[in-house]
Structure 1
Amino acid sequence: MLFTRASEYALLSLVLIARKNEPMGTDTLSKQLGISKSFLAKILQNLARKNILKSFKGASGGFILAKKPDKISIREIAEAAEGKQISVFDCSTDLGCCPSNKGQFCLLWPFLNKLQNKIDTFLEDLTLKDIME
């Protein structure tokens, strides 16, 4: 699957953080978005591990963007939130993952791979700044 709730919550959180321009805590974000604090905390930590966010501890801690919104691609955000390469279908990036490929050439794979490449390019070119506008 291309995007799950993790990607959605990551995007929503990043928009709020970018607009605030000061550290925002998980409590504040989860209340504003109406989502689980523990699930959001995992997502934000993944974003911090991939250098999309910086995290600060303490009473005035929280998360801020690690770079400008125009330097953060939607693909980068989704892959950090999901913890894996995003793909339209499991086999769209690698023919070897095709569940019906039993030593035969899959007739759909060239189309799926071409679609995947177009989506990858689109999501790489689309930035956090673009969705904030």
Structure 2
Amino acid sequence: MLLTRASEYALLSLDKIRKSEQPIGSEQLARELCIPKSFLAKILHNLAKQEILESHRGAQGGFTIKAGMDQISVYDVILAAEGKSPAVFDCTQYAENCPNGSIGGCAISPFLATFQGKIDDFLNELTLDQLFVD
């Protein structure tokens, strides 16, 4: 599956964070977006670890976007939120039951590889400033 709740929550959080004039905390984000706080905190931590967000400590702490919105691709956000590259179809999970005996050995493998490449290119070229149009 290309996008899970983690990707959705990451993108929704980034939208809120970019609109905030000061750092915004995970608790406030979770409340405003109606997202489980512990799940969101993990996502935000992953975004910070990948240097998409910057974490600020203290009474006025929270998260801000670290780089320019035009420098952060949607692909990078999904990769950080999911912990793996986005996949339209991941046949590796079915490898044991593959009727062709090997991954990439089926008739539709070339199509899937081409399709995945086009999706990857699109997500790499799409930046947050293009996604979030006010």
TM-score under structure 2 length normalisation:
0.90
Match of 1:9, as an amino acid? Answer: Y
Percent identity reads 50
Aligned residues: 128
Runs ≥4 residues deviating over 2 A: none
Aligned to 1:126: 126
Match of 2:101, as an amino acid? Answer: K
Displacement of 1:22 in angstroms is: 2.1
1:57 aligns with 2:57: yes
Structure 2 unmatched ranges of 5 or more: none
SS at match of 2:3: coil
Displacement of 1:105 in angstroms is: 2.4
Aligned to 2:14: 14
Contact 1:17 1:24 in 2 (8 A): yes
SS at match of 2:41: helix
Q: Measure the CA separation in 2 of the matches of 1:53 and 1:82.
A: 15
Match of 1:35, as an amino acid? Answer: I
Instruction: Please report the RMSD computed on the Cα atoms of aligned residues, expressed in angstroms.
Output: 1.4
Contact 1:21 1:64 in 2 (8 A): no
TM-score under structure 1 length normalisation:
0.91
Q: What is the 5 A alignment of 1:1-133?
A: 1-91=1-91, 97=92, 99=95, 100=98, 101-103=100-102, 105-133=105-133
Structure 1 unmatched ranges of 5 or more: 92-96
